[in-house]
Structure 1
Amino acid sequence: MKSTYFTITPRDPVIARDARPFGFGIRMKSLDWPYPSVLAGSLRTMFGKTEKAGDFSPDTVMWLKGLAISGPFPLVDGSLFFPAPKDILLKDLRNDRFEAFPLRPAEMGKGQGCDLPHPGLLPAMLPQTVTEEFKPAKSAPFWSLKTMVSWLTEDTDASFSNRISPVHTGADSLQYPEKDARIHTKIVPERGVADDGMLFETVGLDFTAKRKSVGDQVRIAARMDSNGGCSMVDTLHPFGGERRLAHWKSCAGHTGWTCPDEIKTSVKDSERVRMVLATPAIFTGGWLPGWLGEKNGCLVGSPPGGPDDLVLRLVSACVDRWKPLSGWSLETRGPKAIRRVVPAGSVYFFETEKGSAAALAERCWLQSVSDDPQDRLDGFGLTLWGTWNNSKKGSINDKGMEE
């Protein structure tokens, strides 16, 4: 497979609607960040026009759907940013200082219980050293590659807390794009005038404003893998809905698409690995990946693209509530059925039951683990890999006790 990388610079506010109905008298609602399907649809349409001269025959559609799309990710100064993981809680110490607490699988005390969806799972809880209740502070929605690597390889929470302020307010963090609301009117085609009372509103994501924390315009990074390769791109083409324009340009690559050496070293010697969703995932079991099956009261399996001899056991998970996914199908010329996706940033904790996880990070870094092959090609379920509690010896047995 040949990889082609793209830097996308939105010229207009990006329209990325959520799955709510939209019609006369209804306000359009926008996603905070475009889904992979927005990128996949725009990119495939562009290549259908440039590579196939706009001939969207069934064979062309099959070829376009076979292009593996990865992204979209925020891009600043040539480096990727990723969704903040769900396995962290921040305590506001004021004066732009925060303390970070990791959520980790933990055994339950005597007489305690939890209604988890599977008896082989443990709850992810705060460290026992946290005795005071506090209202968690909000983390920035996107972290830099540097900050993410630090969190995925950190043995203890104390050393990470010393650098937590950049995660919230500094150059190693990003907020969501500002939302731009516009009022439009329906035009009568025969007369070219506005139709009385026919107003509607669109809400787009404004990428044109420079961020004070990073000092540069935020762009969008994407990758496409194909067997035959495609021509280089440097053009204006719509991205998202309402034909809002963006500048698409092929490039040599961005920092973050390949697995960092720190991650490889950390995972190599660890029997406990973390899987963080960098893009929303679609699983047949809702929150649970379909490649995990029941065995001896545990959930075990191997992710798509992972080493053949590797078997992972799911220990715990930090998963936010599901998000709706819908859209308009250019192939069938109709609305897509609503599906539930696992939000980006969700974290899954595994232990190795068989084999070694040494090659896992390198082979599966920013590769899809969604169940359906087409969802994987569309870019749903891209993953980041790291370790958890790798400073502790032993493993958690079926009763949730350290051995």
Structure 2
Amino acid sequence: MVATATRQTLFIEPLDVLILRGNKLFGDPGSFGESLVPPWPSVAAGAIRSALLAHKGVDLRAFASGQVQDPELGTPQQPGSFRVVNFRLARRFADGRVDSLCAPPADLVIRRKDGGVLECVRVQPRELPAGIQSSAVTKLHAVLPERERSKPEGGYWLTHEGWVAYLKGNDLDMNSHLVRSSDLWALDTRVGVGLDPAKRSAAEGKLFTVQAVAMRKQHHANGRDHDVGFLAEVEGATIPNELMLRFGGDGRAARASLLDSVPSEPDLTEPIVKARRCRLILTSPGIFPGGWLPTGATQNDTGEIRFALHGVLARLVCAAVPRCEVVSGWDLAKWQPKPAKRVAPTGSVYWLDELEATPAQLRNLVARGLWSDPPEDAAQRAEGFNRFTWGLWP
């Protein structure tokens, strides 16, 4: 079976441990290569793109040099219609049901109360009291309301039901809406040996360590009823029912299977238009001309930050953006590293008010992503960066 070139969803099931390298250099003697879970969406985009080229019988060397152009995949310099629009961690149950998983966004803090009970607390946009100064340029500040200082708990993921409740501004159920990282994957530390290219043998004294990621499986002796992998939504290409992928560092094996149905996010555009305010939540890293400011946001002479992109107008009044990250990667066509770029991390949250848009314009902006027309970088747009969703401002 072959799917049409509309939006399709793939479940990517690792068949081996994965080497999901981040952006830290390693390979020198004594260095440590930490894995990044989930990896950047460009990892999925490159793996699927390469598998599609092989499936179509395209000469990979000719494609890499720009001598061959594919109507859907374009060229390495000018991508075609194919693009990744969503990439997340996911688990597939024995009955075939797939549940997407998201890391808690920046405005959601999980902490442990007295007695060891978990609770979720939302960061709230607030004006600072008189006498307190800040370097933030937004009108409001993202404040965590608490009587006593507490330490956030890490290592938790939102289930799809938890993600929907979060977008709607509802309370989360600590028992059913959260999953621990230890229930999803385990890390396997491995030792690598540096090679001497001249002698084509191991280089003396060059040992390094790298993390391998072992995704949980149903057949593992852990009593779990699901396989853990990734969910990738793609559009603009004709996808076969199944693809074998070389995924992540060292090209470890993974199988991508088309899904007939997946749980969808709620359409909150009607209540957002009525309320004239909302949250904008990044679902992939944001590569923006303004650094932490999303594409379309500019600060005027009065100090206000106005947002205007593809017909959606608003005022940006608050932001919760974690410390910037750096993305890069390996360019197979040029056989060299991609330029390193600073990004606003996945899960960054922006609060907008004075919203002027129709529901159709809000949905259109989500479909486009936070890119200008034409996009600032067509290749990285195809790789799945600058994706977001709307959430209610409770």
TM-score class, shorter-chain normalisation, is: 0.7 to 0.9
Corresponding residue SS for 1:284: coil
Please tell me whether residue 301 in structure 1 is matched to residue 307 in structure 2. Answer: yes
Paired residues, number: 367
Match of 2:171 among 157, 160, 184: 160
Residues 129-168 of structure 1: pairs in structure 2 closer than 5 A:
130=146, 132-154=147-169, 160=171, 163-168=173-178
Letter of the 2:370 counterpart: V
Match of 1:248 among 236, 256, 268: 256
Which consecutive residues of structure 2, in runs of 5 or more, have no partner in the other structure? 92-96
CA deviations 1:208-250 (Å, max 9, x no partner) are: 4459696311121112211xx3241424221111011101222
1:377 alignment partner in structure 2: 382
1:216 alignment partner in structure 2: 226
Deviation at 1:268, TM superposition (A): 4.1
In 2: Cα distance, 1:361 partner to 1:323 partner: 27
Match of 1:89 among 82, 88, 109: 109
Deviation at 1:370, TM superposition (A): 4.7
Letter of the 2:266 counterpart: P
In 1: Cα distance, 2:183 partner to 2:288 partner: 28
Please tell me whether residue 15 in structure 1 is matched to residue 19 in structure 2. Answer: yes
Q: 1:198 to 1:29 in 2, by over 3 A?
A: same
Letter of the 2:246 counterpart: P
Corresponding residue SS for 1:302: strand
Residues 315-394 of structure 1: pairs in structure 2 closer than 5 A:
315-356=317-358, 358-359=359-360, 362-365=363-366, 368-370=369-371, 372-374=376-378, 375-389=380-394
* Contact kept in structure 2, 1:16 and 1:204, CA below 8 Å: yes
Letter of the 2:141 counterpart: P
Q: 1:299 to 1:363 in 2, by over 3 A?
A: same
Letter of the 2:20 counterpart: A
Corresponding residue SS for 2:316: strand
* Contact kept in structure 1, 2:189 and 2:211, CA below 8 Å: yes
Please tell me whether residue 79 in structure 1 is matched to residue 85 in structure 2. Answer: no
CA deviations 1:129-160 (Å, max 9, x no partner) are: x4x21213315442122112212212xxxx61
In 2: Cα distance, 1:282 partner to 1:213 partner: 40
Q: 1:302 to 1:253 in 2, by over 3 A?
A: farther
Which consecutive residues of structure 1, in runs of 5 or more, have no partner in the other structure? 390-403
Please tell me whether residue 275 in structure 1 is matched to residue 280 in structure 2. Answer: yes
Could you tell me the TM-score, scaled by structure 2's length?
A: 0.82
Corresponding residue SS for 2:34: coil
Q: Identity of aligned pairs, percent?
A: 24
Q: More deviation in 86-95 or 270-279? A: 86-95
* Contact kept in structure 1, 2:284 and 2:386, CA below 8 Å: yes
CA deviations 1:28-47 (Å, max 9, x no partner) are: 22213211111111111111
CA deviations 1:188-226 (Å, max 9, x no partner) are: 899998665554433222114459696311121112211
Q: More deviation in 367-376 or 12-21? A: 367-376
In 1: Cα distance, 2:101 partner to 2:280 partner: 17
CA deviations 1:250-290 (Å, max 9, x no partner) are: 2334223xx424x3454242211101111111111111123
CA deviations 1:326-382 (Å, max 9, x no partner) are: 2211122211221111111111100134334x3355334475215634222210122
* Contact kept in structure 2, 1:4 and 1:224, CA below 8 Å: yes
* Contact kept in structure 2, 1:83 and 1:141, CA below 8 Å: yes
Q: 1:70 to 1:180 in 2, by over 3 A?
A: farther
* Contact kept in structure 2, 1:92 and 1:137, CA below 8 Å: yes
* Contact kept in structure 1, 2:11 and 2:232, CA below 8 Å: yes
Q: More deviation in 100-109 or 194-203? A: 194-203
* Contact kept in structure 2, 1:327 and 1:336, CA below 8 Å: yes
In 2: Cα distance, 1:48 partner to 1:186 partner: 31
2:94 alignment partner in structure 1: none
Letter of the 1:40 counterpart: A
CA deviations 1:59-102 (Å, max 9, x no partner) are: 43734633211332112231322221111233412555233322
In 2: Cα distance, 1:355 partner to 1:193 partner: 62
Q: 1:337 to 1:141 in 2, by over 3 A?
A: farther
Letter of the 2:161 counterpart: K
Letter of the 1:298 counterpart: E
Please tell me whether residue 230 in structure 1 is matched to residue 250 in structure 2. Answer: no
Q: 1:196 to 1:124 in 2, by over 3 A?
A: closer
Letter of the 1:17 counterpart: R
Q: CA RMSD in A?
A: 3.0
